[in-house]
Structure 1
Amino acid sequence: MSLPSAQPSSWRFEAIGTSWEIVTAAPLGADRRAAVSALIERFDAEWSRFRADSVVSGLAAGGGRVPAPADAPAMLDAFRALSAATGGAVNPLVGGSLERLGYDPAYTLAAGAPVAAPADWTSLLTWDDGILSLAASAVIDVGALGKGRLVDLVLDLVHADGAGDVVIDAGGDLAVRGAPQRVGLEHPFDPSRAIGVWEVTDAALCASAVNRRAWGDGLHHVLDARTGVPVRTIAATWAVAADAMTADAIATALFFDGGPRLAHDGGVEWVRMTTDGAVQWSPGCRADLFVRAASVES
């Protein structure tokens, strides 16, 4: 990532299990930093399945009804669209499937037999009239788009006064306001290489790859919710959209059939690499790729 010019200020910290960097034209004051920290803590306390005290952990054991967190409608409505577009491959109740493979709150990384997420998740999980309701024991996991949502919230808080250039980088999921940023697209099989560079202006770029959060014998965090088995055909995805939640959601959808169509319908540009090394991209994609001999995915 290249940084805004004119002596930018960088604030680095760890949160929600990843490294953050917030780059601004002028240093953030103590009050604004405290507000960012409180926002991230609130979101984590609501949606982290790795915290015993979170809202979703409280629902996991036997279901129940709680006041819906503020972000529930936006995120779960987006999950509904993702699920429909991918034929059920993306599902917010996939947390139990991840835990069965060892990606659990204790990080046991001891895999059991795969288990599919509940296919009728829209019947079990509802978010109407300010109430978040889970009708049976299940584990909510918003990883398909939750970090993007949080990046958007942090950006809105940091950029509330509209002043200056801002870059929010949460473990490689970025939101940019102001000066264009050139972002390298990390090769999923060799982190020292890039498959291209993408210039991002007043937009967000989110990525997902099977080499991140990987363990055991070919296990990783991107599961097909219909089977509970990690995906095997796509290695990495990148998406650029107006907001980070949309970019994050499309980056997830691109691991499955239906992802490119959903991106097209939403006007989202994308790139993805298959596990055999082929690179595909959306028509009109403005990324500067180093592999232009590859076929174009429509």
Structure 2
Amino acid sequence: MHIWRFEAIGTRWEVATAHAVPAERRRAVTELIAAFDAAWSRFRRDSLVSSLREGGRVAAPPDAAAMLSVYAELGRATEGAVTPLIGTALEALGYDSGLSLRAGRPVPAPAHWERMLRWDDAALTLAGPALIDVGAVGKGRLVDRVLEALAPLPGPVTVDASGDLRVRGGAIRVALEHPYDPAMAVGVVPVADAALCASAGNRRAWADGMHHVLDGRTGLPVRTWAATWALAADAMHADAAATALFFDGGAGLADQWGVHWVRMATDGRIERSPGFPGELFTR
């Protein structure tokens, strides 16, 4: 097994392959990630989404239709809690481009975001001031794209972006990290030709109870659920489901998509989807 490790989009990546990744494939992956970051990173002043923060119209970047169509489903299922216009709310709480981590007054995301943000194959249009953040689906989408770029490689491939991962042509067992003690696991799950994504309030947390999973309707972090895990055919839907599971309606959407899931409440209770293929160590 060959391991290729690198840093990108603010996180650590690990690509495990049966054979060493050739130089031209590495370049293709590096260029793919750089283009995605240039389009979608709200932490870059020169990114496409930063250029739209006062509104405007630009050529639609790759992945716009795929990701925003999933956001439309997320928004309907969670009654507006999950939205791609959450960027300003994150900035208001200190999760800004400079990572000031100084929480100010909460700012709800614009309601009915699909009236403001329009997209098709040609253009991406924002009708007024807002900041796009595709954190609910973006890393999963990029994991899928990186795996696609490695399609010519023979044998099993695992693409792991710090816990959001997808496996092709093989199987691995993954521990479900306890959100209150990273040295412990709440269970394990086999991942075979599938994707597993997780989200937790203890990751990207700061100040007094601030974390990155916000309810777009209030601009405040969610408090009911501590961690979620979603197992799907592709990483984008696993990533999306992991976010949706923090809200009412999320479990129903995951079931509709055929996604297996686990979520742990802040009081320690655990729920799982019927037929979840893993083993849980707590009730």
Query: Could you state the TM-score of these two structures normalised by the residue count of structure 1?
Result: 0.94
Q: Are residues 1:106 and 2:98 paired?
A: yes
SS at match of 2:50: helix
- Please name the residue that 2:131 is paired with: 139
- Please name the residue that 1:34 is paired with: 27
- Please name the residue that 2:269 is paired with: 278
- Please name the residue that 1:212 is paired with: 203
Q: Aligned partners of 2:133 and 2:192: how far apart in 1? A: 30
Matched residue type, 1:163: P
- Please name the residue that 1:47 is paired with: 40
Identity %: 63
- Please name the residue that 1:261 is paired with: 252
SS at match of 1:280: strand
Residues 193-272 of structure 1: pairs in structure 2 closer than 5 A: 193-272=184-263
Residues 66-77 of structure 1: pairs in structure 2 closer than 5 A: 66-77=58-69
Contact 2:19 2:154 in 1 (8 A): no
CA shift, 1:287, in A, is 1.1
- Please name the residue that 2:49 is paired with: 56
SS at match of 1:22: strand
**Runs of 4+ that moved beyond 4 A:** none
CA shift, 1:162, in A, is 5.7
SS at match of 1:285: coil
SS at match of 1:212: coil
Matched residue type, 2:239: D
Contact 2:198 2:230 in 1 (8 A): yes
Residues 15-30 of structure 1: pairs in structure 2 closer than 5 A: 15-30=8-23
CA shift, 1:86, in A, is 0.4
Cα-to-partner distance string for 1:96-155 (whole Å, 9 max, x where unaligned): 000000000011111111010001210110002510000111000000010000000000
Q: Aligned partners of 1:96 and 1:21: how far apart in 2? A: 31
In structure 1, stretches of 5+ residues that fail to align are 1-7
Cα-to-partner distance string for 1:25-76 (whole Å, 9 max, x where unaligned): 000011110110000000000000000110000001x210000011000000
CA shift, 1:156, in A, is 0.6
Q: Aligned partners of 1:124 and 1:233: how far apart in 2? A: 29
In structure 2, stretches of 5+ residues that fail to align are none
- Please name the residue that 2:180 is paired with: 189
Matched residue type, 1:190: D
Counterpart pick for 2:115 among 120, 123, 126:
123
- Please name the residue that 1:170 is paired with: 161
Query: Could you state the TM-score of these two structures normalised by the residue count of structure 2?
Result: 0.99
